[in-house]
């Protein structure tokens, strides 16, 4: 039985003051303990978030991390620096990092390894573009993106399947598209880590997930929660998604 995980990827939204206000409000919401919740604010807001979340069971994640501990890497932040201020999670290989900032499978893996070496939990993102899907290359792309993840510790790894064409577009994968991609990824994880480990590894869906479509995506057999962008920026919609995940885990239809 996999505990559902709902992670909010705030991207470049909310500075320190807005982060504090958001999290103080989120903490007043009643939350089912059967769902793991993580928020990933921008790097500059992480110390504020860590302070507000002290003593709460909401996890704190960064959106990126460098693969070296320190050095001449202008603009970058190391895993140890994140760890020091109380960050527990990090998103790696997000499609915006891949398409806008030149992230490759190799650099994503290096970041994930460095994060795990510093005892951070990794949310590793994969997913095909629309051109790749239209060309029938979805599974080949996913296979390539996870091919070397055997170098990671699966006990501190979460995968996020995020079809690039569904991110921020309002389009979502159909339940069938999502389930077959997730099942494929679980099969690949089984090849890398063995069946038992792959059964306990969480695979999140990401891409325009919002309260209105949790009912069709969260109950899928191999979907273990969500990585949420836009809908995580509003306390009410983020909380509604968390409640839907709790309902799914309890065997109820959200």
3-class state of residue 170 by DSSP: coil
Q: Which of 15, 34, 155, 168 binds ligand PGA (CB under 6 A)?
A: 168
Degrees to nearest 5, angle at CA 126 with 239 and 139 = 125
For residue 97, how many other CB atoms are within 10 A of its CB? 19
Q: Is 167 in the site for ligand PGA (CB under 6 A)?
A: yes
Pick the piece of the chain touching ligand PGA (CB under 6 A) from 31-39, 128-136, 174-182, 228-236. 228-236
3-class state of residue 37 by DSSP: strand
Q: Is 228 in the site for ligand PGA (CB under 6 A)?
A: yes
Considering the candidates 96, 121, 132, 162, report the single residue annotated as catalytic: 162
The count of residues in the chain is 254
Residues 6 or more apart whose Cβ sits within 8 Å of residue 92: 64, 65, 108, 111, 112, 115, 122, 123, 124, 125
Q: Are 91 and 5 in contact (CB under 8 A)?
A: no
Nearest distance from C-beta of residue 70 to ligand PGA, angstroms: 28
Q: Is 42 in the site for ligand PGA (CB under 6 A)?
A: no
Nearest distance from C-beta of residue 185 to ligand PGA, angstroms: 16
Nearest distance from C-beta of residue 173 to ligand PGA, angstroms: 11
- Is 121 catalytic? The answer is no
Nearest distance from C-beta of residue 205 to ligand PGA, angstroms: 9
Q: Whole-angstrom Cα distance, residue 91 to residue 21?
A: 23
**C-beta closer to ligand PGA: residue 118 or 167:** 167
Residues 6 or more apart whose Cβ sits within 8 Å of residue 112: 92, 93, 122, 124, 149, 152, 157
Residues 185-224 interacting with ligand PGA (rule: CB under 6 A): 206-209
Pick the piece of the chain touching ligand PGA (CB under 6 A) from 34-42, 173-181, 186-194, 229-237. 229-237
| Site of interaction with ligand PGA (CB under 6 A) | 9, 162, 167-168, 206-209, 227-231
* Residues taking part in catalysis: 94, 162
């Amino acid at each position: 039985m996999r505990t559902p995980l709902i992670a909010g990827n705030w991207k470049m939204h909310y500075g320190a003051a807005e982060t504090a206000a958001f999290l103080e409000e989120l903490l007043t919401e009643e939350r089912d303990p059967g769902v793991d919740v993580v928020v990933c604010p921008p790097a500059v807001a992480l110390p504020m978030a860590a302070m507000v979340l002290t003593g709460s069971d909401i996890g704190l994640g960064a959106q990126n991390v460098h693969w070296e501990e320190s050095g001449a890497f202008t603009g970058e932040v190391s895993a140890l620096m994140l760890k020091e201020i109380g960050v527990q999670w990090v998103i790696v290989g997000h499609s915006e990092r891949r398409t806008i900032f030149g992230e490759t499978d190799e650099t994503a893996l290096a970041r994930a390894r460095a994060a795990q070496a510093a005892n951070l939990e990794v949310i590793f993102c994969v997913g095909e573009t629309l051109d790749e899907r239209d060309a029938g290359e979805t599974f080949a792309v996913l296979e390539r993106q996870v091919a070397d993840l055997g170098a990671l510790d699966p006990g501190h790894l979460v995968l996020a399947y995020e079809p690039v064409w569904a991110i921020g577009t309002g389009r979502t994968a159909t339940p069938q598209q999502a389930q077959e991609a997730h099942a494929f990824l679980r099969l690949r994880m089984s090849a890398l880590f063995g069946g038992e480990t792959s059964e306990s590894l969480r695979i999140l869906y990401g891409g325009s997930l919002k309260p209105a479509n949790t009912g069709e995506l969260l109950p899928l057999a191999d979907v273990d929660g969500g990585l949420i962008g836009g809908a995580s920026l509003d306390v009410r919609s983020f909380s509604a998604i968390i409640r839907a995940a709790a309902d799914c885990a309890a065997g109820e239809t959200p």
